[in-house]
Amino acid sequence: MTQIHFIVNPISGNGKHRLSEAFLEDFFDVNHYTLKVKFSNHRGHAITLTKASIADGANIIVACGGDGTINEVASTLVGKNIPLGIIPVGSGNGLASNLNIPQDINKAINIILKNAQTWIDVGCLNNQYFFSNMGFGFDGNVIKNYEASEHRTLYCYLKASIKSFRNYNKKETISVKINDKDVLINPFLIFISNSNEMGYNVSLTPKASLQDGLLDVVIVPQISKAKMLLFCLSMLFRKPDFFKESSCFQTKSFKIKRIEGDCFETQIDGEFLKIETVSVAISVKSKALVVIA
Ligand SMILES: Nc1ncnc2c1ncn2[C@@H]1O[C@H](COP(=O)(O)OP(=O)(O)OP(=O)(O)O)[C@@H](O)[C@H]1O
């Protein structure tokens, strides 16, 4: 008997998905599966629910939500031999898209039923994990505005981006240590990605792979508003190479140190995070999470 637990974020996406115990039961043969469906009540709750599922002996744990919910469930599963299933009912669904898991719920459930498993890399930011991407600068500011809008829709994401476009003017020098060399920069954006998609089919790192043991990094220096628009277009068309000011590289690890300012404003898998430490270490754990895809 396979014990399959579903951790459902009821507010992910537009909050109108129909995932419930009654709905899921129809797909899983009672002779082969024992089902448990749990709903998260607040940010971070999926971590507690996943820990309880592991203690209960779950054989498969399915994150039902977007990249934020996947982050909470998957962070708890790193290094364990319990596969993560995904039903992408979030807004952006970047990781699911990279894994070719469709947003059609029935099709996503069929993938779980087939149970083909693969190991993927995991990004580390100090002692936290990310699976899709993280960013410093403009990117963190967009997510800060997005969360303040209290709706998780593409429309609100675009509104948050326009607000950041109008108002973002943070200019702080930081030091980036790459290959043992310290470089002082004043970035508009530092984007670090494990996956080839940010969500909504948009990408700054279309060539990134979840299985190459490397992170794809894009650093964009301070730029004019006109160039910001050009940069956004290169992202929408998944052609970051067209934007000549950015430097792109792959790495296993690097360090960032604050020279000015009192904190880093970042986003990690689409959730805003303020980091107060002076330096941050970013690295990748090769093939540290098993997923059903
Ligand atoms: N019941 C709840 N009420 C409010 N927030 C919740 C609840 N359950 C989970 N959360 C939080 O909601 C946030 C958003 O979740 P999630 O990322 O899954 O959806 P999304 O933002 O719509 O999708 P995506 O990240 O793919 O754009 C996460 O920080 C999560 O911890």
User: Which residues are within 8 A (CB) of 138 and not within 5 positions of it... i.e. 6 or more apart?
Assistant: 164, 168, 188, 189, 220, 228
- Let me know: does 186 contact 171? Beta carbons within 8 Å: yes
Point out which residues pair with 176 in neighbouring strands.
Answer: 183, 256
Question: b/e for 49-88, b at 16 or more Cβ within 10 A?
Answer: bbeebeeeebbbbbbbbbbbbbbbbbbbbeeeebbbbbbb
Query: Percentage of the chain with pLDDT > 70?
Result: 100
The pLDDT tens digits for 1-25 are 999 999 999 999 888 888 999 999 9
What's the whole-number mean pLDDT along residues 39-60? 98
Rounded to two decimals, the ipTM of the complex is 0.97
Q: Which pLDDT does position 229 carry in this prediction? A: 87
The pLDDT tens digits for 195-249 are 999 988 889 999 999 999 999 999 999 999 889 888 888 888 888 777 888 889 9
Most ligand 1 atoms within 8 A of CB, residue of 11, 93, 95 to mutate? 11
Most ligand 1 atoms within 8 A of CB, residue of 43, 50, 200 to mutate? 43
Identity of the highest mean pLDDT range in 35-49, 151-165, 241-255: 35-49
| Pocket lining: 93 vs ligand 1, CB cutoff 6 Å | yes
- Let me know: does 219 contact 185? Beta carbons within 8 Å: yes
Nearest residue to 37 via CA among 65, 67, 66: 65
The answer to which of 44-48, 166-170, 237-241, 251-255 has the lowest mean pLDDT is 237-241
Q: Which pLDDT does position 172 carry in this prediction? A: 83
> What's the CA gap between 163 and 145, in Å, rounded?
7
Ligand 1 centroid – CA 72 distance (Å):
10
User: Which residues are within 8 A (CB) of 144 and not within 5 positions of it... i.e. 6 or more apart?
Assistant: 265, 267, 272
| Pocket lining: 41 vs ligand 1, CB cutoff 6 Å | yes
pTM of full prediction above 0.90: yes
- Let me know: does 143 contact 134? Beta carbons within 8 Å: no
> What's the CA gap between 23 and 45, in Å, rounded?
22
The pLDDT-based confidence of 152 (bands split at 50, 70, 90) is: confident
Point out which residues pair with 282 in neighbouring strands.
Answer: 125, 254
The H or E element containing residue 260 is none
Angle formed by the axes of helices 138-148 and 154-167, nearest 10°: 130
Going across the sheet that includes 247-251, the strands are: 247-251, 215-221, 187-193, 133-137, 264-268, 271-275
Q: Which pLDDT does position 240 carry in this prediction? A: 76
Which domains does the chain carry?
2-115 (3.40.50.10330), 128-286 (2.60.200.40)
> What's the CA gap between 293 and 59, in Å, rounded?
16
Ligand 1 centroid – CA 175 distance (Å):
32
Most ligand 1 atoms within 8 A of CB, residue of 6, 7, 8, 9 to mutate? 9
What's the whole-number mean pLDDT along residues 165-193? 87
> What's the CA gap between 156 and 19, in Å, rounded?
23
